[in-house]
C-alpha cells in the first residue's frame, strides 16, 4: 500500500510535467485572426484577399471610426503561395482557425473550386466549418472589403445574414464546406 501510494504520486508528477497544455499556444500579439478569405481568378493567377481582425481596433476603449478589420491581398500561381506572400505585408502570422467565409468570384467558381478547397482542407489550421459564397459581377476582394453597417466584424455580418436569409427566404442556401465536399465525393 505504501509502495502503491508512492508509485501513484510518481505517476501524477510525471503526468503533470509531460502533459501540460501550453506546448503549442499562440499569443494574440503574434497572430492575425482571419475571418474571411476571397479568391479571384486574375489572368492565370489567383488573387487571395484575407479579411483580418485588427486587435487594436477591437478594444472597447478605442473609438470605432472604421471597421476593426484589415484586408491583405496578394497574387500568385497558387493559393498557398499567395498566402505565404502575405506574410511580407503583416508582421503577424495569419491564423485561419476562425475562418467563417470563403468567397469566390464567378470566374474562379466556373474554373473550379476543388483545387482551392483542397488546399484549405489540407491546412492543419483551417477548421472545415466555414461557408462558401460566389460573387457575381464583382470580385471576391470587393466582397471581403465590404463594411458592415450592423456588425462590428464584416465577416460575421455576412455569416449571420446568410443564416437568417436561409431560414426566411428560399432562394438562398447556406452551404457548409464539409457538406459540399461530401457531395463532391458521392456518385451522381
> Per-residue DSSP letters for the chain?
-HHHHHHHHHHHHHHHHH--S-TT---GGGEEEEEEEEEEEETTEEEEEEEEE-HHHHSTTS--SS-SEEEEEEEESSHHHHHHHGGGT-SSEEE-TT--EEEEEHHHHHH-SHHHHHHHHHSTT--S--EEEEESSS-HHHHHTPPPSS-SSHHHHHHHHHHHHHHH-TT----BHHHHHHHHHS--
- pLDDT recorded at residue 93: 82
The model carries a pTM of: 0.74
Ranges under pLDDT 70 in the chain: 20-29, 55-67, 148-150, 169-175, 188
- pLDDT recorded at residue 169: 66
- How much is the mean pLDDT over the chain? 80
pLDDT tens digits for range 120-133? 888 878 888 888 88
- pLDDT recorded at residue 105: 92
- pLDDT recorded at residue 159: 76
- pLDDT recorded at residue 139: 92
- pLDDT recorded at residue 170: 57
- pLDDT recorded at residue 127: 84
- pLDDT recorded at residue 66: 57
The domain limits of the chain are: 29-185
pLDDT tens digits for range 39-64? 999 988 999 999 998 766 655 554 55
Amino acid at each position: 500500500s505504501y509502495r502503491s501510494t508512492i508509485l501513484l504520486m510518481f505517476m501524477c508528477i510525471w503526468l503533470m510535467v509531460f502533459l501540460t497544455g501550453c506546448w503549442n499556444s499562440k499569443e494574440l500579439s503574434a497572430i492575425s485572426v482571419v475571418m474571411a478569405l476571397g479568391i479571384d481568378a486574375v489572368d492565370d493567377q489567383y488573387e487571395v484577399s484575407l479579411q483580418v481582425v485588427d486587435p487594436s481596433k477591437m478594444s472597447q476603449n478605442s473609438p470605432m471610426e472604421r471597421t476593426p478589420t484589415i484586408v491583405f491581398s496578394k497574387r500568385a500561381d497558387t493559393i498557398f503561395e499567395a498566402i505565404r506572400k502575405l506574410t511580407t505585408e503583416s508582421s503577424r502570422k495569419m491564423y485561419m482557425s476562425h475562418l467563417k467565409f470563403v468567397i469566390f468570384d464567378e470566374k474562379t467558381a466556373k474554373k473550379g473550386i476543388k483545387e482551392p478547397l483542397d488546399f484549405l482542407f489540407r491546412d492543419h489550421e483551417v477548421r472545415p466549418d466555414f461557408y462558401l459564397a460566389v460573387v457575381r459581377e464583382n470580385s471576391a476582394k470587393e466582397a471581403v472589403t465590404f463594411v458592415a453597417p450592423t456588425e462590428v466584424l464584416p465577416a460575421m455580418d455576412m455569416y449571420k445574414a446568410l443564416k437568417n436569409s436561409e431560414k426566411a427566404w428560399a432562394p438562398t442556401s447556406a452551404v457548409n464546406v464539409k457538406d459540399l465536399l461530401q457531395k463532391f465525393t458521392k456518385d451522381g
